[in-house]
Amino acid sequence: MTTDARIPLSRQRVLRTAVALADEHGLRAVTMRRLAEELGAEAMSLYYHVAKKDDVLDGIVDVVAQEINEAVARLEPGPDWRRTARRRILTAREVFLRHRWAPPLFETRSSTSLAVLKYYDGLVGVMRDGGFSHDRIHHALHALGSRALGFSHEVFDPNAGASAEIPAELAAQLPNLVGMLSEIAHDDPDSTLGWCDDQAEFEFGLDLILAGLDLLRDR
């Protein structure tokens, strides 16, 4: 992937190229040297638009978060807070499925993107309109965690490419895990953002939390 060097450099162009590079080759491919090659520019010229690699990483978080905000803005609002919140979260997840490298990056940034805060502001608004107090919403955001943005943490997270199979020498000591793993299967890799984070598991957890919040609201 090489972009047209005749197009003037700008911060937005650098960040969009970084996102495309990460989509195609993974986040590790996003280096200042590689970006310069993709843009057909000298590496030093990038520093007029991004201060350093950390600035690029913060910037591409903004780009993805803005993509999420644009996607949820197209949703038609409804009277049911739970259905509206669910649609917003699953729409955000669709964006992350297009940028599978993004969830761990979102979790590791030390500063919070304004675009991310705007997403959460919209979710708070949905819950306020649904009859929640600010106190309940505060607890709800903690309960949802990263799931509010469309991805979740893994219970088990082996190294990339590692097998989930439990070694024979340990199987006798872990009969319940062995029994569970022998029956379950995750066969939809396109819906996965982590080792075991497929769409059905994500929606199960999301629905469980939203249903619980609905009960608390009614109390």
| Angstrom distance (rounded) from CA 70 to CA 68 | 5
For residue 15, the surrounding DSSP H or E stretch is helix 11-25
Whole-prediction pTM: 0.86
| Angstrom distance (rounded) from CA 22 to CA 100 | 9
CA distances from 89 to 106, 127, 169, 172, 203 (A): 15, 13, 41, 40, 10
Rounded to 10 degrees, the C-alpha dihedral 172/173/175/176 comes to -170
Q: Which amino acid is at 86?
A: R
Tokens of 50: 């991004």
Per-residue pLDDT tens digits for 76-127: 988 999 999 999 999 999 999 999 999 999 999 877 899 999 999 999 999 9
Per-residue pLDDT tens digits for 164-211: 667 788 888 888 888 887 777 666 777 788 777 788 889 999 999 999
